[in-house]
Amino acid sequence: MIVAAAADSPVAGALVDLFVVLLAAKLGDELFKRLGQPTIVGEILAGVVIGSSVLGLVEPTETLEVFAELGVVFLLFWVGLETRLSELVEVGRAAILVGLLGFLLPLGGGIGLGFGLGESAATSIFLGAALVATSVGITSAVLIELGVLDTRRARTILGAAVVDDILAMVLLAIAVGLAAEGGIDAMSIAVVVVLAIGFVGFLALGGTRLLRARPRLLSAPRFSESPLLPAVILALGLAALASEIGLAAIIGAFLAGMMVAETKEQHPIEDEIAPLYAFFPPFFFVFIGLQVDLGAFVDAGTFALLAGVTALAVATKFAGSWVGARSLGRADATFVGVGMVPRGEVGIIVAGIGRTTGVIDDELFAVIVGMSILTTLAVPPVLRSLRPSAPEPKPQPQPGQS
């Protein structure tokens, strides 16, 4: 057509994509609400339906990926807003154990499976790395939907996810070093580890203290209107910084949320963030679904591999996390173990890096993506069913506690 010059611009196409994704997410959400199922499962499946496997309406473009990333950034910022550092410290020991054991078992399982299948060392380590990292975005969304974010088991999962992410980042650095054939540069890895722990430690301790002591940094008169934009700028800035250091962007967003939560503005900020929290996360869930290639699994061998890898991913992560959380009691340990299972976007990202560097082939990539989706789809209904059978004992309010 004659106006094609304007209508075919990338921006016009992006508007159409954003519209289709948001509409699909809303329909999936509403349908699953009526079915009494977790809404994020509906949104992920909406992504599968509009993606290349079924309708082929939308491709996973770079713009959609940015919106998906902002989705999980705002999701974890929201979770951070609901989290107090003191509460996280309370569950610190259990969280570290869950993070560590929930890291070691899947890693060992993945590497063992790789060698068992006759893969190279680099491929085996990548497979292990792809099985390691929990997608706390998925579990967080379910915790919010269930209204249990303010419980000991939920905080244990969040703390463990931070530990897990630092370990996974170190592992990924080692794996990339192996794949690049340059060998491992122990010094660089040490620098990365120190940076990462310093980043988390400084922000978690210093940042919250700074904003608690000087809440006006985030409000009038320096910023004369609402604290929304300063808070969003802080979230984006720490997310970008975390990303540059090699951590997941969401760790930065989570810490930003915790920092903002310490200020007096907490409640108005929550009201103002809510619409951004409603707008962006659907892109994250739909984008996960968009990456599924159902066609890859018509091959029986691939399907069998998918089943095996998924079973291994679930069993090792559950067992490691359950043992790590055992001190919290049986019911909490089960909840934590299940909550750590989803791999979501993290496994997909690791597999993608492996494919780019040539150590993960197309079949294994499809299997890892499939495993990530299956663990992500399976967990929300299970978590939901666990909740009523194990009511959380309310701690007595103590005077002087914030």
CA 137, 359, 67: angle at the middle one, nearest 5? 30
Coil/strand/helix, residue 325: coil
The DSSP letter of residue 118 is: T
What residue type is assigned to position 141 of the chain? A
Cis check: omega of the bond before 221, within 30 degrees of 0: yes
With H, G, I as helix, E, B as strand and everything else as coil, classify residue 321. helix
Question: Which helix H or strand E contains 236, and what residues bound it?
Answer: helix 228-245
Q: Say whether residue 270 binds its own copies (CB under 8 A).
A: no
- Residue list 212-251, contact with its own copies (CB under 8 A): 223-224, 226, 228-230, 232-233, 236-237, 239-240, 243-246, 249
- Local structure of 22: helix, strand or coil: helix
Identity of the residue, 173 or 338, whose beta carbon is nearer to its own copies in the bound complex:
173
Q: Is 66 in the site for its own copies (CB under 8 A)?
A: yes
CB of residue 151 vs its own copies: minimum separation in angstroms?
A: 24
With CA atoms as reference, report the closest residue to 21 among 53, 75, 65: 65
For the record, the structure tokens of 358 come out as 């040539």
> Which one of 67-75, 133-141, 145-153, 203-211 is the stretch in contact with its own copies (CB under 8 A)?
67-75
201 binds its own copies (CB under 8 A): no
Sign of the Cα pseudo-torsion (119, 120, 125, 130, in order)? negative
Within 10 angstroms of residue 199's Cβ, the number of other Cβ atoms is 20
Query: Token pair for residue 118?
Result: 């006759």
Among 145, 185, 270, 363, which residue sits at the site for its own copies (rule: CB under 8 A)? 185
Let me know if 268 is exposed, middle or buried by CB neighbors in 10 A (0-12, 13-18, 19+). Answer: middle
Closest to its own copies by CB, 195 vs 307, is 195
Nearer to its own copies by C-beta: 127 or 173?
173
Contact flag: residue 304 with its own copies (CB under 8 A):
no
Print the binding letters for residues 132-171 with its own copies: x by CB under 8 A, - otherwise: -------------------------------------x--
Q: Which stretch binds its own copies (CB under 8 A): 5-13, 137-145, 329-337, 379-387?
A: 5-13
Stretch that binds its own copies, among 18-26, 94-102, 134-142, 363-371 (CB under 8 A): 18-26
Find the binder of its own copies among 86, 214, 294, 356 (CB under 8 A): 356
CA angle (5, 7, 10) in 5-degree steps? 90
Q: For its own copies, which is the closer residue by CB, 158 or 276?
A: 276
Total residues contacting its own copies by CB under 8 A comes to 64
2 near its own copies (CB under 8 A): yes
Q: Look up residue 60 and give its two tokens.
A: 């996973």
A 10 A CB-CB count for 396 gives 5
Would you say how long the chain is, in residues? 402
What is the footprint of its own copies within residues 274-293 (CB under 8 A)?
274-276, 278-279, 282
Residues in contact with its own copies by the rule CB under 8 A: 1-3, 5-7, 10-12, 14-16, 18-19, 22-23, 26, 30, 33, 62-63, 65-66, 69-70, 73, 169, 172-173, 176-177, 185, 188-189, 192, 223-224, 226, 228-230, 232-233, 236-237, 239-240, 243-246, 249, 272-276, 278-279, 282, 349, 353, 356-357
